[in-house]
């Protein structure tokens, strides 16, 4: 016991002596890390660590000797968004019709719009004008969804349609009222997007402002689409479908439209496709809508279309967005679902494309 105590005392003495010995001074702290730049800046914006809605993309683009930093930041944002969505590249995210987060959407719009503005001051003015236009749209949207007249005349048709649908649904069921509100939201933001022709509510916007406005609308619209899809999925836990006999043609059309635009919710699209497939056999839904949703689901899954309904403008012509299975029998399949020949469809669409 005495030997153990002596050994323990020796250890304690050595420890106390070491603690009492002077320690080397800690190195002075280095300079504080500055704000991120280049690739790191773009990633921080896309992740929402820096608020892209408040960020001055015009200053970043046009500050002296900042072009390379701007392009590096844009690349960093694209890389971060692609990684967040499990894609190999930014174009792959675009091709997947993914709903971006608000930070992702406005970051990409910030870079794209800054490249279109002639200088930093113009970018700031365009952004302010776009925000004012979005505020006018939001006021119209809220009025329409509340069943009130639109303060913006160009949304009067949507307001009238929504009010009429709400009145018709009121006597039937709360589910129909909710269905028509979701349809109104679905159509409102899509009709508000600004492409070739200028819209009165967005009068005076240049290219940079239009990019920013469309991004704001898309952020708002993606949230509306996801909410509508979630609501539809919940309702289909209680009913088989908004069938023609029970709910009528307008409800069948509205429910299909929500599913058609639910690209960010493929599970809901597939559920609706299965329900509509049964309803088609019972003649309780529009078979042409079923065909369109079939092609949409196939397209999103990387498979060929069956009915050739998913088209786009390409070189002035209305062309399929993806290959069609067994093209020789395409028109025969289209007849089964009440669609006309593909050539007629392409010719009519070509007028929209300028062909």
Print pLDDT tens along the chain (355 aa): 333 333 333 333 333 333 344 444 555 554 455 678 899 999 999 999 999 999 999 999 998 877 899 999 999 999 999 999 999 999 999 988 889 999 999 999 999 999 999 999 999 999 999 999 999 999 999 999 988 899 999 898 888 888 877 776 675 788 898 999 999 999 999 999 998 777 899 999 999 999 999 999 999 999 999 999 999 999 999 999 999 999 999 999 999 999 999 999 999 999 999 999 999 999 999 999 999 999 999 998 989 999 999 988 777 777 788 889 999 999 999 999 999 998 888 887 766 676 5
| Containing structural domain, residue 98 | 38-116
160-190 burial code (b ≥16 CB/10 A, e <16):
eebbebbeebeeeeebbbebbbbbbbbbbbe
Give the C-alpha separation, 124 to 121, whole Å.
5
Spatial neighbors of 215 by CB under 8 A, at least 6 apart, are 105, 106, 108, 109
DSSP-derived secondary structure for 35-64 = ---HHHHHHHHHTTSS-GGG--HHHHHHST
Six-digit token string for 146? 């509340």
Q: Token digits for 104?
A: 């992702």
Coil/strand/helix, residue 260: helix
User: For residue 76, is it within any domain?
Assistant: yes
Q: Does residue 290 belong to any structural domain of this protein?
A: no
Considering the domain boundaries, does residue 27 fall inside one? no
Q: Give me the pLDDT at residue 28, please.
A: 53
- Give domain status of residue 288, yes or no: no
How many structural domains does the chain have? 1
In a domain, 249, yes or no: no
* 96 in a structural domain: yes
- CA–CA distance, 167 with 57 (Å, rounded to integer): 46
How confident is the model at residue 352, as a pLDDT? 67
Q: Is 248 a domain residue?
A: no
Contacts of 286 (CB under 8 A, 6+ apart): 249, 252, 253, 256, 338
Q: What pLDDT score was predicted for residue 314?
A: 75
Q: Is residue 322 part of a domain?
A: no
Determine the Cα–Cα distance for residues 305 and 299; give it in Å rounded to an integer: 6
């Amino acid at each position: 016991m005495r030997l153990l105590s002596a050994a323990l005392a020796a250890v304690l003495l050595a420890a106390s002596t070491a603690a009492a010995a002077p320690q080397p001074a800690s190195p002075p702290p280095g300079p504080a890390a500055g704000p991120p730049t280049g690739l790191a800046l773009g990633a921080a914006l896309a992740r929402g660590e820096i608020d892209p809605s408040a960020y001055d993309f015009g200053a970043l683009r046009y500050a002296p000797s900042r072009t390379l930093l701007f392009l590096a930041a844009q690349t960093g944002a694209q890389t971060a968004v692609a990684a967040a969505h499990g894609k190999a590249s930014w174009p792959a995210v675009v091709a997947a019709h993914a709903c971006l987060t608000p930070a992702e959407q406005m970051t990409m719009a910030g870079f794209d719009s800054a490249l279109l503005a002639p200088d930093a001051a113009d970018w700031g003015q365009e952004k302010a004008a776009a925000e004012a236009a979005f505020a006018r749209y939001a006021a119209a949207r809220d009025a329409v969804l509340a069943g009130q007249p639109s303060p913006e005349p160009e949304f009067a048709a949507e307001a009238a349609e929504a009010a009429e649908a709400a009145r018709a649904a009121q006597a039937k069921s709360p589910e129909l009222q909710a269905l028509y509100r979701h349809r109104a939201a679905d159509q409102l933001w899509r009709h508000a997007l600004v492409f070739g022709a200028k819209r009165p509510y967005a009068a005076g916007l240049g290219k940079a402002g239009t990019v920013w406005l469309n991004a704001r609308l898309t952020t708002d619209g993606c949230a509306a689409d996801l909410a509508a899809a979630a609501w539809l999925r919940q309702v289909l836990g209680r009913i088989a479908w908004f069938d023609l006999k029970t709910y009528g043609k307008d409800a069948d059309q509205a429910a299909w439209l929500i599913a058609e635009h639910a690209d960010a919710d493929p599970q809901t699209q597939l559920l609706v496709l299965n329900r509509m497939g049964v309803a088609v056999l019972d003649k309780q839904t529009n078979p042409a809508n079923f065909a369109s949703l079939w092609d949409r689901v196939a397209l999103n899954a990387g498979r060929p279309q069956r009915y050739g309904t998913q088209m786009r403008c390409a070189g002035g012509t209305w062309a399929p967005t993806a290959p069609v299975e067994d093209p020789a029998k395409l028109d025969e399949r289209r007849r089964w679902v009440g669609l006309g020949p593909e050539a007629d469809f392409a010719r009519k669409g070509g007028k929209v494309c300028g062909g």
